[in-house]
Amino acid sequence: MQERVKIPKFDVVGTRPVRPDGADKVTGRAKYGADHNVAGQLVGKVLRSPYPHARIKSIDTSAALALTGVKAVVTRDDFKDQSSEFVPAGEMLVNYRDVLRNVMAREKVLFEGHPVAAVAATSEAIARAALRAIKVEYEILPHVIDVVEAMKPDAPIVEDGMITVGVTPPPTKPSNVAKRVEFVLGDVEKGFKEADLVIEREFNTKPVHQGYIEPHACVGSVSEDGTAELWTTTQGHWIARAHCARLLGWDMTKLRVTSSEIGGGFGGKTVVYLEPLALALSAKTHRPVKMAMSREEVFKASGPTSGANVWVKMGVKKDGTITAGEAILKYQAGCFQGSPVQPGCMCAFAPYDLANVKVVGFDVLSNRPKVAAYRAPGGPISEYAVESVVDEIAEKLGMCPIELRLKNAAKEGTKAAYGPKFGPVGMVECLEAAKSSPHWNGPLGKNQGRGIAAGFWFNIGGETTVNLQLNEDGTLTLMAGTPDIGGLRASLAMMAAEELKIPYEKVRPIIGDTSTLGYNFVTGGSRSTFSSGLATVEAARSIIKQACGRAAKLWEIPEDAVTWDNGEIKPAGDNAGKFKPMKLSDIAKVAGKTGGSIVGVGAISAQGAAPSFGVHIADSEVDPDTGKLTITRYTVIQDAGIAIHPAYVEGQFQGGAAQGIGWALNEEYIYGADGKLQNAGFLDYRIPVASDLPMIETIIVEVPNPRHPYGVRGIGETAIVPPMAAINASAARATGVRMFELPLSPPKVLKAMKEAKKA
Amino acid sequence: MRYESPDTLEAAAKLLASESGEARILAGGTDLLVQIRSEVLSPALVVDIKKVAETRTIKEEAGGFRIGAAVTGAELKEHSALKKVWPGLVEAANLIGSTQVQGRASLGGNLCNGSPAADSVPAMIAAGAVASIVGPNGRRDLKVEDIMLAPRKLALQKGEIIASFLLPKRAPHSGDAYLRFIPRTEMDIAVVGCGVSLTLDGSGTCAAARVSLGAVAARPLLVEDAAKALIGSKIDDAALEKMAAAARAACKPIDDKRGTIEFRTDVAGVLAKRTALIALERARKG
């Protein structure tokens, strides 16, 4: 690991303490979604559609209910319909009409795996028998899987009567295109006229799953008085509460949601699937109902992100100045609208300071599971296409790909095509760090090629609450509400310790439930260290203020005559030196006698999130006889603002790169002509195993975010944006062939090499 | 579901033969249990053969080795005499699944699961392994290449159990090898598999050879034309090219999620050459 670019000026921030949740995780004590069990619980199971598209004519549950041990069955009839209304959830919008239909099919089943009924029984075997006993009568409809096919005028219509939004005048005929979006800056036609070289390319990508190791799991328990508890693995328990209360028609206060430890989410756990079903089954039986997906169910009925068809055209002058960038993005949304095509459009050219940009996006339905957020949703797809064209431009101009990017790099003051002007950003710094890195200047072996690509992600803030309580012995308990996926508890405890000038070990961070803490939006948008960090600092400063007040009371001097000086509470001004300075622990001891418990609350809507740019370098080696690509060296360079806990920043960099390598080389959803998924398991859906990856080197660049007390930028998502283009560029050099389709699996690469040899 | 674990093969065969419903043999269970849990199979009877000593033992016999059908990959790897003589076969068995799976998975199970992509099967075919089969009517021998007929279809009669495999006595200057192509580095299923066993004479000329391919047809293939291309040659580039062409000609693969017809056919030739070179290297040392 390369050390930090800057020397930390803090005591705690920038160090690498052991994470507070580490021991329980490595010993197996930590409780994940499926580790929670309640006395008397029933087993819940879901009956899923075997067809990709069919009208449900009838559902007969009587034989299932007649089985001994079957306690309840729920179908579409158990849920009140929801009107069409879009509300924000994570970085995407949700429509409760669709959320309901995704949880339980109503008029039609829209993908293989779509839930049609759920049962609760006293054993797994009985629950399975009950599923077999449910009789569903389907009218099978023609289906469509591919995004380009789905846009054709004669394609089967997934959502009856859907009219494209964003087109003037509105179309009169229904189609599978839910929405058209457009972002324009300057005049691309003018830009292309100024260009000496114009390159135009079409790319295709496949849907890929988030691939979290922990499947969805929950326990719902509804009491006889209508109050309910839900234990679930989620990226946002307040969102889970809101969705469940809405779908079930309950008051939010009656539902208490606890988030378990989470075994990966990557955006895919910002959605409810099993939770409303478990609660509905428990409401019928008044017994706890535990539900867990199998891996097959995870693949067939959760996630993934979109597959897409992307067209990119870029113009450039001989000196490397990019004169225009244009793109058309067609993203699969799955069976309901809401693909990440809009952020995809906004990201497409974001790493560059361009005068002329036009990006058009289409949100397209097909008979696949509804996509869920996946790490920088939409960004990796559009930036893969744009960065692949940038690499080709560098090659055609005979220019170093870093120099070409430096010439056009976004910097402070650059107006992004999607609207805002950037504040201080680290694109140039990342490129410079790449240029001087050992990797970029290192040797290449036979059949190897090196590629480089940049990436961008916005990052968000949002509603956040943190409670910080000063315990009697001077230690603190920190309660946050953004589920800890990547080392959040460590980072928050570090910021609290830094602020309060106490040892890191004196702060015990936990994640609170929805009834013990104010509202928290999801862990998503790389927001949790930024937003919960801001709230932590606010809560800590409140503790300091209250402690100073208590000292003033003890010393019988005015509050404004007490100061906080690097961990000590001191009398100031005329009173300076009159009283012995006190520490927080001294105040803690007498808190009860001076006004009661000292609790700091940070309840904010976090503003000032700053984007993070990254640059990745990939070396790949091709087996010329089989087309198999192996990544032999890989470096992630990314602007972290300030790395609070550098080891977890590096972990995020490496994790994003690992997922990107899978996306680039082997991961894809494979459908048969019957519209059924053929590889619903980790055997044939190939995420990389450890031996597939080189050690992923990291360089943390630090361009502090001026709008955070510790300079934090979100870093979790950007790391998955550059890998596909970096690997594509490295593969082009290793094989001598440019490819325009993901994944770069051996049969495709070998075929491309053979065809190039023939030509 | 009824579970039985008899002490003798005769008792096991009787149980299997008299079951009117679906009956399955349990060795390591790495395929069977997964198929039961995923509801692909729901047998009425499962007969565990691991209490029968023959199925769990490796012993030297007639100058070769007899390997029990339920001996695990990990146990093969720990048998130094076997590993020295048949390194290709031992390596093939230890490509199956993960380290944990290799602690359970057996040669008998890998063959009787009836997958054309089974890793140890081309290695056994190349080695000239012969299965010893016990059934209601007694014991018989069958060459491994004659056992699997089509996916999930075996040349075994109702009640028949593979008890063990006999690997023949090895001539001096012999070597074997197995290679497979997978898109990642481990924990995967062969897109193409290739086993080669060969023997050199005193002058370094190939005196005997067997070449077997997996995952390129409905059943693992013994490719005699590929072996003929090697026999009598010094296994030079020309012989290897001829062998590769013969290997490709023998392929009758399908297009599926793991590979295309074109890719499998191409790679079969590539793997055949690479495998033969490893076997050659071992034969020269042996």
Residue A579 covered by a domain = yes
**Which pLDDT band holds residue A91 (cuts at 50, 70, 90)?**
low
The β-bridge relationship of strands A629-639 and A696-701 is: parallel
**Nearest CB to B184 within list A670, A688, A751:** A688
Residue A750 to residue B263, Cβ atoms within 8 A? yes
A100-134 confidence digits (pLDDT tens): 999 999 999 999 999 999 999 999 999 999 999 99
Residues A128 and A73 reside in one and the same domain: yes
Cβ contacts (< 8 Å) between B270 and chain A: which residues? 625-626
- Which of these three, A244, A271, A301, is where a domain ends? A301
Question: Span B82-86, mean pLDDT?
Answer: 97
Q: For residue B235, is pLDDT > 60?
A: yes
Cβ contacts (< 8 Å) between B191 and chain A: which residues? 746
First and final CA of chain B: distance in angstroms?
49
A713 Cβ partners below 8 Å, 6+ apart?
Answer: A459, A526, A530, A609, A610, A611, A612, A639, A640, A641, A705
- Which of these three, A576, A606, A636, is where a domain ends? A606
Residues A597 and A621 reside in one and the same domain: no
- Tell me: cis bond preceding A169? Omega within 30 of 0 counts: yes
Å between B135 CA and nearest CA of chain A: 34
The answer to whether residue A662 neighbours chain B at the CB level (below 8 Å) is no
Residue A310 covered by a domain = no
Cβ contacts (< 8 Å) between B115 and chain A: which residues? none
Å between A671 CA and nearest CA of chain B: 9
Q: For residue A2, is pLDDT > 80?
A: no
Residue A344 covered by a domain = no
pLDDT at A415: 93
HSE-up (13 A, CA, CB side) for residue B286: 24
pLDDT at B286: 79
**Nearest CB to A751 within list B187, B258, B262:** B262
Tell me what percent of the residues of chain A surpass a pLDDT of 70.
98
Q: Check if the beta carbon of residue A600 is closer than 8 Å to that of residue A478.
A: no
Residues A551 and A691 reside in one and the same domain: no
Please, what is the average pLDDT of chain A?
A: 96
CA-to-CA distance for A136 and A185, rounded, in angstroms?
52
CA-to-CA distance for B57 and B137, rounded, in angstroms?
23
Alpha-carbon separation of residue B24 from B144, B152, B160, B219, B220 (angstroms): 20, 12, 11, 21, 22
Residue A337 covered by a domain = no
Residue B259 to residue A747, Cβ atoms within 8 A? yes
The answer to whether residue A751 neighbours chain B at the CB level (below 8 Å) is yes
Q: For residue A621, is pLDDT > 50?
A: yes
Residue B181 to residue A626, Cβ atoms within 8 A? yes
- Which of these three, A284, A301, A318, is where a domain ends? A301
Please, what is the average pLDDT of chain B?
A: 97
The ipTM assigned to this model is 0.95
Residue A746 to residue B183, Cβ atoms within 8 A? yes
Question: Span A42-65, mean pLDDT?
Answer: 98
B180-191 confidence digits (pLDDT tens): 999 999 999 999
Q: For residue A4, is pLDDT > 80?
A: no
Cβ contacts (< 8 Å) between A746 and chain B: which residues? 181, 183, 191, 259, 263
B103-145 confidence digits (pLDDT tens): 999 999 999 999 999 999 999 999 999 999 999 999 999 999 9
Residues A262 and A117 reside in one and the same domain: yes
Residues A616 and A598 reside in one and the same domain: no
CATH of the domain at A127: 3.90.1170.50
**Which pLDDT band holds residue A85 (cuts at 50, 70, 90)?**
confident
CA-to-CA distance for A373 and A332, rounded, in angstroms?
13
Å between A690 CA and nearest CA of chain B: 9
Residue A556 covered by a domain = yes
Residue B189 to residue A747, Cβ atoms within 8 A? no
A375-393 confidence digits (pLDDT tens): 999 999 999 999 999 999 9
CA-to-CA distance for A160 and B18, rounded, in angstroms?
56
Rg (CA), chain A: 27
Q: Check if the beta carbon of residue B77 is closer than 8 Å to that of residue B105.
A: no
Residues A133 and A75 reside in one and the same domain: yes
A257-279 confidence digits (pLDDT tens): 999 999 999 999 999 999 999 99
CB within 8 Å of chain A, chain B residues 22-41: 38-39
Residues A502 and A630 reside in one and the same domain: no
Q: What are phi and psi of A91, to 5 degrees?
A: -100, 15
Q: For residue A245, is pLDDT > 80?
A: yes
**Please, what are the domains in chain B?**
174-285 (3.30.390.50)
Residue A410 covered by a domain = no
| Structural domains of chain A, count | 3
Residue B183 to residue A628, Cβ atoms within 8 A? yes
Residues A228 and A115 reside in one and the same domain: yes
Residue B266 to residue A750, Cβ atoms within 8 A? yes
Residue A325 covered by a domain = no
CB within 8 Å of chain B, chain A residues 692-721: 692
Chain centroid offset of residue B221 CA: 11
Question: Span A31-59, mean pLDDT?
Answer: 98
Question: Span A179-183, mean pLDDT?
Answer: 97
B250-284 confidence digits (pLDDT tens): 999 999 999 999 999 999 999 999 999 999 999 99
Residue A25 covered by a domain = yes
pLDDT at A8: 52
Residues A50 and A128 reside in one and the same domain: yes
**Which pLDDT band holds residue A90 (cuts at 50, 70, 90)?**
low
Q: Which residues form the domain of A448?
A: 1-30+424-458+610-759
Residues A453 and A469 reside in one and the same domain: no
Residues A662 and A548 reside in one and the same domain: no
**Which pLDDT band holds residue A3 (cuts at 50, 70, 90)?**
very low
Q: For residue A313, is pLDDT > 80?
A: yes
pLDDT at A96: 95
Question: Span B60-81, mean pLDDT?
Answer: 97
Q: What are phi and psi of A493, to 5 degrees?
A: -60, -35
Å between B261 CA and nearest CA of chain A: 10
The answer to whether residue B188 neighbours chain A at the CB level (below 8 Å) is yes
Residue B270 to residue A692, Cβ atoms within 8 A? no
CATH of the domain at A678: 3.30.365.10
CA-to-CA distance for A408 and A393, rounded, in angstroms?
13
A165-180 confidence digits (pLDDT tens): 999 999 999 999 999 9
Residues A513 and A483 reside in one and the same domain: yes
